[in-house]
Chain A
Amino acid sequence: MNVTETAATLNGFAVRAQRVSRSYKMGEAVIRAVDEISLDVGTGEFLALLGASGSGKSTLLNLMAGLDRPSSGSILAMGRDLAAMSSEDLATHRNRTIGIVFQSFQLLPRMTLEENVELPLRLAEVPRSERPARVQEVIERVGLGARSRHRPTELSGGEQQRGAIARALVNQPKILLADEPTGNLDSKTGEEIMSLIAQINRPASGPGRTIVMVTHERALAERYADRIVTLSDGAISREERLR
């Protein structure tokens, strides 16, 4: 049973974008970063968004994350329309429904790894007594058990990205959004991170997670993703189903 079938049996879409546009004003000119894109991401699917710089892939990811709002159209995440949500609800969506991983890791430099990972739990108002176990579990899962008391500056790039993944997973989101997660890493470390993300998508045991990953490395996308959607000038130019 492949992942698409799994998605089909679950009978749902994790993310569904319908004629979504996002335009910016730059002086007099209006730039359409995302131009009427319709795209479904099945539950449990690993989707890679490919495209050149400025093609709109990161903007689309930000819209899915609820960090940005569409100028028109709608984006549904786990059945709820992000465009219609209040900013409070969007914050809850970012905290509970999705996890985000950035190219530049974005760990807070003044906190240790475990404090960074604890942040989403603080925001979710998880009781203090529950936090250490959950933080430790997810840090172990990304293979950083021995580094939890280190500050980001004391970690290598790969370790920092693992830490960021741990932080994205600690609230057990249904969807993991990754914006060029290997962009700042050498190819070997990039491979390691990709295989970690693949494991998160399809773990040896337990339920998997839907993954939407922005990348410009086609080779990595082809190796790990179920589907590749290529964007250019804010629109979908190509769609390939790999698995």
Chain B
Amino acid sequence: MKLGDLTELAARNLRESVLRNSLTTLGISVGVASLVALLSLGVGLQQLVDRSVARAGLFDTISVRSRQSTPFGQPGGGGRNPRGTADSVPPRPLDDAARKEIVALPNVLEVNPEVRFTAEARREPISQLVMVAGMAQSSQSSGTLDGLSGHFFSGADAQEAILQGDVAKRLVDVGQAPGSLLGQQITLRFAQRQMLPPPSQQASTDAPNQAVGPDEEAMGFSIVPSERKFLVVGVTPTSDSGGGQVGFNNAGIYLPLTVAENLQVVQQGDLRDVARAAPGQGTRYAALNIRATSPTAVAGIEASVAHMGFAAFSLIDVARNLRTFFAIFDMFLGIFGSLALAVASLGIINTLVMAILERRREIGVLKALGAADRDVRRLFFAEAGVMGLAGGLFGVLLGWVIGRAIQLASMIYLKRQGVTPPNIWSVPWWLVLGAIVFAVVVSLVSGIYPASRAARLDPVEALRYE
């Protein structure tokens, strides 16, 4: 019998015992729904963690430092690579030449110098010591600043600042929202390098000089306090509302990277570099942050950078463990969800075995008219499959509704606790498709026994059955 005829006959048979078949199908739906609801929450939680980790640049960022930076005698000193590789490669300075080499590596999206320093942020009469970091223009699109109030820097050299919500909270007057800082000026006071003036020339504090040039090294520099005003253009969500940053580049105040570099703030490695005789080529960097094209490329880049003689560090192992954890978590959710489906499969077996008893004569007639065992088996299979498909489709819908309800309930609960509720629920297309396919497969497997029993029926016996 052709598939079209088979499906038609199966659908007709299912319509005839509509109540019983609907209840069986509903059983499958409940099974699929529990599977979808549980897994959608599991997937949602995983995506929530993925998002916050990705936002912090944990998955696609590699921090590169010179192995010369850590002196012997200090814990971890002597330039051991965190991954313990490429120790045989001699350490080299992290300079422009090295930066160019790193940029040329495959799968490297961008390489930015890390500029971080401590400063005093002041908004009369309040002042607060805060970590300041330079932020690359690309951070605008990388999701780092999800939930930002205000806007991103208007340009690479704009004298603007983005404040972390917690810092903003400390700088506003009592009773004011952190967002009220938007459009206001804050003053940053920091330690600035001033080149020792050559005999004929006065160093200009405003000169857009890069961190530590070779000439400076030759001459040295003095450190003076300096102040600069910045316009607050953005405030990130506060940490207690689910925002806040936990990445490589975590800081209280962000400035455009170029602006931060040009401030000529004393960096951690500066004093060391003055002490060292061997100069690098062009600018020397305390650290570089590499952004990879994808998290999968991180390990490769990390190895290449280590081979070049630098200390490279990423949290890819942490990420891997996190994924393993969620895989196991989802598996358990899936197992619990499947239990209901397993019970539903017993319902299918029961319904089809009942159908064999009821339709004994019909099976006999079909065989007398020329139906082969295979036709009868496929007919029962088709009925199981149709129930599975219908149950799967309806179950996905039901699961979606249940998941939505759980999400809504958790949102209300979290809001009452004073926390901005994150989205912990997601129904990806593979889950929808997988659940439907799973329901059909479970139904077909459940149909094996009834179908082969129906196929084996002796037609003479079956025709005699009243």
Contact = CB atoms under 8 A, between A and B. Distances in A.
Interface in B14-31: 16
A117 to B, nearest CB: 10
Given A65-B368, A67-B460, A106-B463, A123 B375 contact: yes
Interface string B354-391: 00000001101111111111110000000000000000
B361 A91 contact: no
Contacts of A171: 370
Contacts of B369: 94-95, 100, 119-120, 123, 167
Interface string B441-466: 00000000000000000011001000
A88 B367 contact: no
B12 interface: yes
B216 to A, nearest CB: 89
B460 A91 contact: no
B370 A88 contact: no
A233 interface: no
B419 interface: no
B276 interface: no
A218 interface: no
Given A88-B374, A123-B375, A100 B368 contact: yes
A170 to B, nearest CB: 10
Contacts of B16: 110
Contact of A106 (B9, B368, B370): B368
B368 to A, nearest CB: 5
Contacts of A94: 367-370
A122 B361 contact: no
B1 interface: yes
Interface in B327-375: 361-362, 364-375
Contacts of B101: none
Contact of B365 (A62, A88, A108): A108
Contacts of B2: 122, 125
A120 B375 CA distance: 12
Contacts of B370: 91-92, 94-96, 120, 123-124, 171
Nearest to A90: B372
A65 B459 CA distance: 11
A90 to B, nearest CB: 8
Contact of A125 (B1, B368, B459): B1
B13 to A, nearest CB: 8
A102 interface: yes
Contacts of B362: 108
B375 A67 contact: no
Contact of A88 (B4, B364, B372, B460): B372
Contacts of A122: 1-2, 5, 9
B356 to A, nearest CB: 15
A222 interface: no
Nearest to A108: B362
B372 A91 contact: yes
A156 interface: no
Contacts of B365: 106, 108
Interface string A85-107: 00110011011100010100010
A91 B463 contact: no
A123 B1 contact: yes
Contacts of A95: 369-371
Contacts of A67: 367-368, 459-460, 463
Nearest to A59: B460
Interface in A109-158: 110-111, 119-120, 122-125, 128
A119 B9 CA distance: 10
A94 B369 CA distance: 6
Given A62-B460, A106-B463, A125-B1, A87 B368 contact: no
Which 9 residue pairs spanning A and B have beta carbons closest together? A95-B370, A91-B372, A122-B5, A94-B370, A123-B370, A120-B369, A67-B459, A106-B365, A88-B372
Given A94-B369, A167-B369, 15 more contacts: A62-B460, A67-B459, A88-B372, A88-B374, A91-B370, A95-B371, A106-B361, A106-B364, A106-B368, A106-B463, A120-B370, A122-B2, A122-B5, A123-B369, A171-B370
7 contacts: A62-B460, A91-B367, A91-B373, A94-B367, A106-B365, A106-B463, A119-B366
